[in-house]
Structure 1
Amino acid sequence: MNIYKKNSGIAIFVFLLLLIIGSAGCSKMDEWKEHVKDGEISYTGKLDSLRIYSGKNRVKIEGLFISDPKVVECRIFWNGRKDSVSVPIKRTQNTDTLRLLLENMAENVHNFEVVTFDNEGNKSVTVYGTGTVYGERYQQSLFNRPIVVNSLKAYDNTFTATFGNVDRTLGIFATEIKYVDTEGITHTKRLSIDDKDVAFENVKIDEKMVLRSLYLPDTLCLDTFYTPYTDFNPSLTYYRNLGYPFTATNISGRWGVLQDWNSNAAANAISGRGSWDTNTGVGVLAAEAGWGTPNINNGKIYQSTTLPAGKYKVDIEFRRNNVTANVDATNNLIYFVVTNNGTIPNVADVPSSNSLGYYNLAWINDAYRVVSFEFDNPVTQEVTIGYVANLMSSSNQYFNVRGMSLTLVE
């Protein structure tokens, strides 16, 4: 092996490598000399802790002046440096704060550049930040939180409502409801987005309620956005304990006495109970004869309240089993009846009675079904609604109402 030739080759390689590095170093040095030919570069202290708050057609820019007492000016650029603002700075011996509102901004996401200067025109390195300006486009995307169901109870002036789910990504955080109380005073209640069920007392009947929803599009937003106020008429509930589920008193086992309704002995023939049943696990208005329970002869379940004049619609969700034996004009019949005399007639008298209306709750099938009918109440007066049943055959039979409603049509 020729050691001399090998070492000679290594030496040549090292020489060339040093020559390349030296050339690069000279090039860098030449560039540096070009930059500092008029003197050494001097940077002012940059703005620290830059924070940009979003807003409605505006942004707020905040930051801290910490390190450089020579800073006398701060310039903020945006829109590709086509727009800018200059802020005079008067430093103290302490940390100073920049707070700047930029108004009448176009709705968009804006990129900002912040540069500070001293008296000699030396500038800092650029500090970059991004801020969002919200405007009409965002406003038009907002909507009110929906109310799934509401009820204003005419008998005690209590309003209840259940709100539906809503997409929270747009920033909704609250809803406001305005209502007038029984003394004529207007109240505004603010409800958190987490409040699903609400209740107000002493709410005046026949007054519209209004609601709007509140939005903050992000956690740094200066401004709250509001949907326009939307008015609505509460759904008036004139009668008590209308189901879903029905409630009861004097409960023993599956049976009880229907609460807030009048019910006679025939309707409660099972040891003083029977107008309420929970055999299915849910409380229902009930009538049952057979399976060891007594027959029902004109069992009556009814209640009364003052009802304003108007046309009303009644919806009843019920079921009963099919009984074909021993059915006549007075047997195995169930009616829903509306009267203005404080009580309801016997089964045999319903078709000929001077009632405001009635509906024959005949068998449809064994599953729950909703039936509807309307009646006219000519003047504001006490109106009685209720059920009357004759279940007198030898057949086993039952009747259940899961829920019902009465609403003013016009």
Structure 2
Amino acid sequence: MILWSCSDQEYDDYKKFAEGGEINYTEKVDSLKAFSGKNRVMLQGIIDADPKITEFRVFWNDGRDSVSVPVNRSGGVDTLSVTINDIPENIYNFQVRTYDAEGNKSLVSNVTGAVYGERYQNTLYNRPVLANDLVGGLLSISYASMDLTTGVIGTEILMDGQSDPIFIPIDSDKYDISNYEVGDSYKYRTLFLPEETAIDTFVTDYVSYTPVAKPILENAAIPFKASSKSGRWGILENWTTTEPVLVHGGYGGWDEWNGNIFNIESGWGASAINNGKIYQTVPGVQEASYVLNVLIRNTNHQLSDPGGSYFVVAKGSTLPDVSDVETAEEVLAYKRINVDLGSEYTYRLEFTIDEGATDITVGQITTQADGDPGRFCNVRSWDIVVK
């Protein structure tokens, strides 16, 4: 006894073949797959038994559209392949049949495939660049993460005067270029595959950059160095510390606790601090957009505190007074320090230099009370990056 099972479609086709007596039919395409592309799709399948096959046909849009492809049998396993071009963006059900010279046809093989186009292209965006850090001929490009479900696979960098791009995979968040000259430019774009097996790569428009030298802050991260110290407290090397900060026996700003950290602290037996400042000047900063990142360990400054405490970027070689920080013309950016933002928080101060080489000064200015508790802000690092 032989058991036979088939789908409704195949059974209907079989009934048609059987009407009026025995009818020959050709081998059905096996392992049929669809590979998505940009306004096109590629179909592939195999046949391995029927030497009579002379063509196969693909139908879609309920049979309203079709294409015929000749077949030259090799006598073994043959791969049937066709790329259908100029097809609108959509999801399609493709039906494939083989035929012989007598017009006999196979049962249908079905496969669903997606075609991508302008709608998909319009959802794509360039991978954000977090920083172009050019220091001593070494350019370090830092990238933001991206949603991998978009199909993003990486970026391409093309240096001015070069014809071969550099590919940076999406799992790399930093790329270094050595021997980079100030004034040189590069452009980059981001690459996407809408599906892992897609036959076309989608790209964004190029974005150009002319990196400028990174402004360097000295002694700007844990472990901070002290030019002089006494016990727990000291004075920060490479930074200017004003007299109101020196409330710990003539010292302040450098704190041996928490790994030799940057900390302006009042209270717990120390005096209040009125308009205290610690700052550092960077000369000749070039025209560009920048971010000053200040990473703190923790703080207890509150927005309700009289006076308040700020991180500041200003033009020139000093910082304004606390009372003037929010209105002073020379201030390029400021952020008020606030315990509600949480610990291990990075304050981002974005600013732009648009008038040629300019001296800038960055630092902390503060008016804070004494008592118990007093006020503090432990800073882990300061860093200026080029956007």
**TM-score, L = length of structure 2:** 0.63
1:176 aligned to 156, 176, 196, which one?
A: 156
Return the letter of the residue paired with 1:163.
A
Seq. identity, %: 31
Q: What are the Cα deviations for residues 238-287 of structure 1, in whole angstroms up to 9, with x where unaligned? A: 122585x554258999768857x3679x999999x9653363x4764345
Q: What are the Cα deviations for residues 105-124 of structure 1, in whole angstroms up to 9, with x where unaligned? A: 22221221111122322211
Give the corresponding residue for 2:140: 159
Distance 1:385 1:156 in 2: 24
Distance 1:110 1:337 in 2: 57
Give the corresponding residue for 1:116: 98
1:276 aligned to 254, 272, 284, which one?
A: 254
Q: Could you tell me whether the CA contact under 8 Å between 1:242 and 1:405 is conserved in 2?
A: no
1:139 aligned to 86, 111, 121, which one?
A: 121
Distance 2:74 2:45 in 1: 15
Distance 1:314 1:52 in 2: 47
* CA-CA distance at 1:290 after TM superposition: 8.8
Give the corresponding residue for 2:199: 222
Q: Does 1:104 align with 2:86?
A: yes
Distance 1:163 1:371 in 2: 15
* CA-CA distance at 1:139 after TM superposition: 0.9
Return the letter of the residue paired with 1:126.
V
| 395-404 or 128-137, which deviates more | 395-404
Give the corresponding residue for 1:360: 321
Q: Could you tell me whether the CA contact under 8 Å between 2:132 and 2:385 is conserved in 1?
A: no
Q: Could you tell me whether the CA contact under 8 Å between 2:269 and 2:371 is conserved in 1?
A: no
Q: Does 1:74 align with 2:51?
A: no
Q: 1:315 to 1:171 in 2, by over 3 A?
A: closer
Distance 2:49 2:94 in 1: 22
Q: 1:189 to 1:338 in 2, by over 3 A?
A: same
Give the corresponding residue for 1:20: none
Distance 1:83 1:371 in 2: 57
Q: Could you tell me whether the CA contact under 8 Å between 1:163 and 1:197 is conserved in 2?
A: no
Q: Could you tell me whether the CA contact under 8 Å between 2:193 and 2:202 is conserved in 1?
A: yes
* CA-CA distance at 1:406 after TM superposition: 6.6
Give the corresponding residue for 2:188: 211
Return the letter of the residue paired with 1:91.
R
Q: 1:65 to 1:406 in 2, by over 3 A?
A: closer
**TM-score, L = length of structure 1:** 0.60
RMSD of aligned residue pairs (Cα, Å):
5.5
Q: Could you tell me whether the CA contact under 8 Å between 1:110 and 1:132 is conserved in 2?
A: yes
Return the letter of the residue paired with 2:88.
A
> What does residue range 304-383 of structure 1 map to in structure 2 within 5 Å?
306-308=283-285, 356-361=317-322, 368=337
Distance 2:201 2:16 in 1: 55
Segments of 5+ residues of structure 2 without an aligned counterpart are: 1-13, 271-275, 326-335, 339-346
Q: Could you tell me whether the CA contact under 8 Å between 1:58 and 1:101 is conserved in 2?
A: yes
* CA-CA distance at 1:102 after TM superposition: 1.5
Distance 1:119 1:375 in 2: 74
Distance 1:313 1:100 in 2: 52
Give the corresponding residue for 2:131: 150
Q: What are the Cα deviations for residues 284-341 of structure 1, in whole angstroms up to 9, with x where unaligned? A: 4345689799xxxxx99776655157799997979989999xxxxxxxxxxx9999xx
Return the letter of the residue paired with 1:211.
Y
> Secondary structure of 2:198's partner?
coil
> What does residue range 17-96 of structure 1 map to in structure 2 within 5 Å?
35-37=18-20, 39-96=21-78
Q: 1:384 to 1:94 in 2, by over 3 A?
A: closer
Segments of 5+ residues of structure 1 without an aligned counterpart are: 1-30, 294-298, 325-335, 340-354
Q: 1:96 to 1:201 in 2, by over 3 A?
A: same
Distance 2:187 2:172 in 1: 17
Return the letter of the residue paired with 1:168.
L
Q: What are the Cα deviations for residues 143-202 of structure 1, in whole angstroms up to 9, with x where unaligned? A: 22234x3252456654342414x332221121234456xxx8798443322223444444
Number of aligned positions between the proteins: 338
Distance 1:101 1:63 in 2: 12
Distance 1:127 1:185 in 2: 48
Give the corresponding residue for 2:224: 248
Q: Which has the higher contact order (CA 8 A, sep 6+)?
A: 2
Return the letter of the residue paired with 2:37.
G
Distance 1:375 1:54 in 2: 44
